[in-house]
């Protein structure tokens, strides 16, 4: 997923002296038969549990295959509790340990809070996030990478889906008035209008149960739009769906990865489209193997943070095998993936980093809620008739 900053996007609150003290406390790593990789995320959050599980699954598979140049992979797992101050402490702990790299954090706010620690001091350490999608991550530092696309990619992909695949020309946008909602709104509106589309309304809202009745009344009594974009989160989209049904507004609803899990709302969510960097139903051989292994071990389906973490583990395996376990060498080799060395082919798609540690060409898929499940429909012609 790839995950949005519906997940508490905060600025770091720790002072510079405190960060410097944490970094200065770093101890020298020892050479032995183990490669230690830090895993940092919000593992007390249900969204974060699959991330930890995927890291453990990947470590088991790597070790069963001989490890990294014969060295066993050992995970150093730390929970940041979705709190920026805790994320700073976790980063300091991992920095001063003998980890060669860090996979984390889960949410963008925690990644941004922790990035000054990972990027600081005499021996900075790579932090590779599986799911932090805020546009601000782009400038977080030379040792900060992510394996998911920016939030900004979702608005563009949704615009092309609506215009080129559903062949709709006239719509409306409701957006959560925070960085995540504004980012999707901005890119969707710009791309959709560039493609010749028209928008009846573009309106902001706040809160998990937004008061959008007046906006929907205006749509119901005017020229009803052919579709509705909700640039926000699952709980808000469900409330908007309920309010729209009361007004007999039956146009298709679409949203970004903030809508992850909306299929659990049952009939209410039938026909909803959502974008995501990952769905368990992606029909690639690599993803089918991953989903089968994850389901066999945990009796559950993986989410986007899980898939991103799984890819990050195997990407780091390849990089460390090639470059060694020095933090600086890992950063140098990782930065060259997709340019100096071939792209990495993972369960989420093709990973190739740009100069900012972003993956600008990473896939954004479109899923359709049908019968309580999400089916990947990206690249397949779909009729509007099936939408709500």
CB-CB contact of 171 with 225 (8 Å):
yes
Mean pLDDT of 143-150: 96
For the chain, list the domains and their CATH numbers: 16-149+283-357 (3.40.50.2300), 152-276+366-386 (3.40.50.2300)
Mean pLDDT of 217-234: 94
pLDDT attached to residue 38: 98
More confident of the two residues 211 and 4: 211
Residue 97 reports pLDDT greater than 70:
yes
Task: Calculate the CA dihedral of residues 163, 156, 186, 189 and round it to 10 degrees.
Answer: -10
Residue 10 reports pLDDT greater than 80:
no
pLDDT attached to residue 1: 46
CB-CB contact of 146 with 357 (8 Å):
yes
pLDDT tens digits, one per residue of 339-376: 999 999 999 999 999 999 999 999 999 999 999 999 99
pLDDT tens digits, one per residue of 306-341: 999 999 999 999 999 999 999 999 999 999 999 999
Average pLDDT, the chain: 90
Burial 227-245 (b: 16+ CB within 10 A, else e): bbbbbbbbbbbbbbbebbe
106 CB contacts (<8 Å, ≥6 apart)?
3, 7, 40, 41, 42, 45, 47, 48, 51, 80, 82, 129, 130, 131, 132, 305
Structure-block tokens of residue 340: 């100096």
195 vs 184: CA distance, rounded Å: 16
């Amino acid at each position: 997923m790839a995950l949005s900053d519906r997940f508490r996007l905060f600025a770091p609150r720790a002072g510079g002296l405190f960060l410097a003290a944490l970094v200065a406390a770093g101890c020298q790593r020892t050479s032995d038969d183990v490669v230690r990789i830090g895993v940092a995320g919000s593992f007390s959050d249900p969204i974060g549990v699959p991330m930890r599980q995927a890291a453990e699954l990947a470590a088991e598979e790597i070790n069963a295959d001989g490890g990294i140049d014969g060295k066993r992979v050992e995970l150093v797992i730390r929970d940041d509790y979705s709190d920026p101050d805790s994320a700073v402490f976790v980063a300091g702990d991992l920095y001063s340990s003998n980890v060669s790299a860090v996979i984390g954090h889960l949410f963008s706010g925690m990644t941004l809070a922790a990035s000054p620690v990972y990027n600081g001091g005499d021996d900075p350490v790579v932090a590779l996030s599986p799911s932090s999608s805020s546009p601000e991550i782009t400038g977080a530092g030379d040792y900060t990478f992510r394996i998911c696309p920016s939030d900004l990619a979702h608005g563009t992909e949704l615009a092309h889906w609506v215009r080129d695949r559903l062949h709709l020309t006239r719509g409306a946008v409701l957006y959560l008035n925070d960085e995540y909602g504004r980012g999707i709104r901005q890119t969707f509106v710009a791309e959709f209008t560039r493609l010749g589309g028209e928008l009846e309304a573009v309106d902001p809202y706040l809160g998990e149960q937004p008061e959008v009745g007046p906006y929907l009344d205006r749509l119901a009594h005017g020229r009803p739009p052919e579709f509705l974009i909700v640039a926000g989160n699952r709980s808000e989209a469900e409330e908007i769906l309920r309010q729209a049904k009361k007004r007999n507004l039956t146009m298709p609803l679409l949203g970004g990865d903030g809508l992850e899990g909306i299929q659990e709302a049952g009939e209410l969510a039938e026909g909803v489209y959502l974008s995501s960097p990952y769905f368990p139903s992606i029909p690639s051989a690599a993803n089918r193997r991953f989903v089968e292994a994850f389901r066999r071990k945990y009796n559950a389906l993986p989410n986007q943070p899980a898939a991103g973490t799984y890819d990050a583990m195997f990407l780091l395996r390849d990089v460390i095998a090639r470059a060694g376990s020095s933090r600086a060498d890992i950063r140098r080799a990782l930065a060259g993936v997709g340019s100096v060395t071939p792209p990495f082919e993972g369960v989420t798609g093709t990973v190739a980093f740009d100069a900012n540690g972003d993956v600008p060409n990473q896939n954004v898929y479109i899923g359709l809620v049908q019968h309580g499940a999400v089916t990947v429909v990206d690249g397949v012609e779909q009729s509007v008739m099936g939408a709500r």
